[in-house]
Structure 1
Amino acid sequence: MAEKHTTSAGDQAYWSANVRIILISLVIWAIVPFGFGILLRPALSGIMIGGSDLGFWVAQQGSILVFLALIFFYAWRMNKLDREFGVEEE
């Protein structure tokens, strides 16, 4: 017979916060390269940064830097969330 597993309110709050952080990160991850690197590239072409226009820079280097920032943000925020719910690693 299958065993029923119930989750506590704390578990549900933890996973809800976790999924919210993931969704926010994914939205940023999608907007930066697609929005700024492709859709808004013509509008950003007049702004120069580092010897090239901003649209090209975002598509080539800026999106990579945003991805790295998202990795560090996710690790920092999840460590904070783990401490809040008492599930941090020892």
Structure 2
Amino acid sequence: MADQTSQKAQAAGKSDAGYWAANVRIILVSLVIWALCSFGFGILLRPMLSGIPVGGTDLGFWFAQQGSILVFLALIFFYAWRMNKLDREFGVEEE
């Protein structure tokens, strides 16, 4: 399968290295956003966010309980959309 990906990408004039570099970059950005929202806002920065009311509670608690879940869902859809775009760009989309 990796060989087919390689052949399609080379036929499209793009390299495997470029595809995987873009793929890893998308994953790293997603992981940084995930860590910032879950660990950063929910745990480390919670005392600073405690004065901001959201839905009857403070913003730090909201991020720890609900905000992180919403951000995770948004990251899933972003990742799927961006990877489909990247696959089309490199000519390795699913048929």
The TM-score with structure 2 as length reference comes to 0.83
| Equivalences, count | 84
The yes-or-no answer on 1:15 pairing with 2:20 is: yes
Percent identity, please.
81
Aligned residue for 1:89? 94
Select the residue among 68, 71, 74 that pairs with 1:66.
Answer: 71
Aligned residue for 2:85? 80
**Which stretches of structure 1, 4 residues or more, deviate above 3 A after TM superposition?**
none
Q: Mark the runs of 5 or more structure 2 residues left unpaired by the alignment.
A: 1-5
Q: Mark the runs of 5 or more structure 1 residues left unpaired by the alignment.
A: 1-6
Alpha-carbon distance in 1 for matches of 2:35, 2:45: 13
Aligned residue for 1:34? 39
* Deviation of the 1:28 alpha carbon: 1.0
* Deviation of the 1:70 alpha carbon: 0.5
Aligned residue for 1:4? none
Q: Deviations over 1:34-65 (max 9, x none)?
A: 11001111111111011111110011000011
Alpha-carbon distance in 2 for matches of 1:74, 1:48: 30
Aligned residue for 2:53? 48
Deviates more, 1:78-87 or 1:8-17: 8-17
